[in-house]
Amino acid sequence: MVSMKDISAACGVSVATVSKALNDHKDVGEDTKARIRKIAKEMGYFPNSSARALKTNKSYNIGVLFVDEAPQSGLTHEYFASILDSFKVTVEAKGYDITFINCNNIRKGRLSYLEHSRFRGVDGVLIACVDFGDKEIKELIESDIPVVTIDYPVEGRLSVISDNARGIEELVRYVYAQGHRKIAYIYGQSGSQVTKERLNSFKKTASELGLKIPERFLISGKYRDIPCASKNAGALLDMKDRPTCIFFADDYSAIGGINEIKARGMNVPEDISIVGFDGSDIMAKIDPKLTTIIQDTRMMGRIAADNLIAQIEKSTDLPAEHTVIEGVLEKGATVRQLS
């Protein structure tokens, strides 16, 4: 491994000068800095991360805590995968690496999320798609480690939130404007904060429009679960006085609805209208194009990264506690105009 002593010998300068040049100190001339850096690069020199951590009191490593509610999707979950990709690109551009935080056994002992974060020496943690009621999640959030949460506001902590309530409101008002009065909703897991926001907004908007939604039209389902969505859609289609439009938990679940509708020899939107949520790329390629809310996942990831690094670097211009990102209504072609 190439050391600063090796570089100093090759450059004919002191080790102290090499150190100052590589750390961009002002008391070394620009020409000298450039020459030393060029020779260091040619020799294959890389700064020691442990030494840099001791000097700066930072590891330049950020933890990501991601525990998917739907085990069958994991990191292929398009919504969170897009957020995490944008987050990764942003932090790496600012000189940070990322490490996934888990509770695996390390050195003969199971570590909590907080313990694993300290073991890895991360400067901060992004928390996405977890059970925020978990005591270990609470322990991490209440620690002194900088944290940013996704889609879950925590008092005293920074969060980036998709405007789920507004998105559902826009969908309900659009479907209503298309003439629909019998609207059903197959929502996601009942314990999810996102589900609570969307379901409350659905009921509130329907009430404001004077719609009476029968309890049988509100069905608890699962996110990204095609078989579950197919089964629940079938239950709605079997009703004597069935809905004219079905809301699905997300775009992926809407595929299950489409499958069930087609299996019955029916068509979308001629026989039944449907809407999704998320703005999945694959649904934009399906005919007819799905009516949905497109969430700005790229912006969410970027802002989460900026906010977390602002905490780590103790910026004097810290962002607002909760940043809400609005989605965009994609009218698509799966909602029929009723007279």
The DSSP line for 87-103 is HHHHHHHTT-EEEE---
In CATH, what number does 164-295 get? 3.40.50.2300
* C-beta atoms surrounding 133 within 10 Å: 9
The whole-number pLDDT of residue 20 equals 86
The whole-number pLDDT of residue 191 equals 80
The whole-number pLDDT of residue 71 equals 47
Burial of residue 251 (number of CB atoms within 10 Å: 0-12, 13-18, 19+): buried
Q: Percentage of the chain with pLDDT > 70?
A: 90
C-alpha to C-alpha distances, 216 to 204, 232, 240, 269, nearest whole angstrom: 17, 11, 12, 22
The whole-number pLDDT of residue 67 equals 76
The whole-number pLDDT of residue 158 equals 92
| pTM for this model (two decimals) | 0.79
**Cis peptide bond upstream of 288, omega within 30:** yes
Using DSSP, state whether 326 is helix, strand or coil: coil
The stretches in the chain having pLDDT less than 50 are 54, 71-72
From the list 291, 281, 280, 87, the residue with the least C-alpha distance to 180 is 291
The whole-number pLDDT of residue 119 equals 86
The whole-number pLDDT of residue 84 equals 93
The whole-number pLDDT of residue 172 equals 98
User: Which CATH superfamily groups domain 61-160+298-326?
Assistant: Response regulator (3.40.50.2300)
Quote the CA–CA distance of 223 and 255 in Å, as a whole number.
Answer: 12
The whole-number pLDDT of residue 2 equals 78
The whole-number pLDDT of residue 59 equals 80
From the list 61, 32, 53, the residue with the least C-alpha distance to 19 is 32
The whole-number pLDDT of residue 280 equals 84
Residues of the chain with CATH 3.40.50.2300: 61-160+298-326, 164-295
The whole-number pLDDT of residue 265 equals 96
The whole-number pLDDT of residue 272 equals 97
Which residue stretches of the chain are H helix?
A: 4-11, 15-22, 30-42, 49-56, 78-93, 113-120, 135-141, 164-177, 193-208, 226-237, 251-263, 297-312
The whole-number pLDDT of residue 53 equals 52
Quote the CA–CA distance of 17 and 36 in Å, as a whole number.
Answer: 9
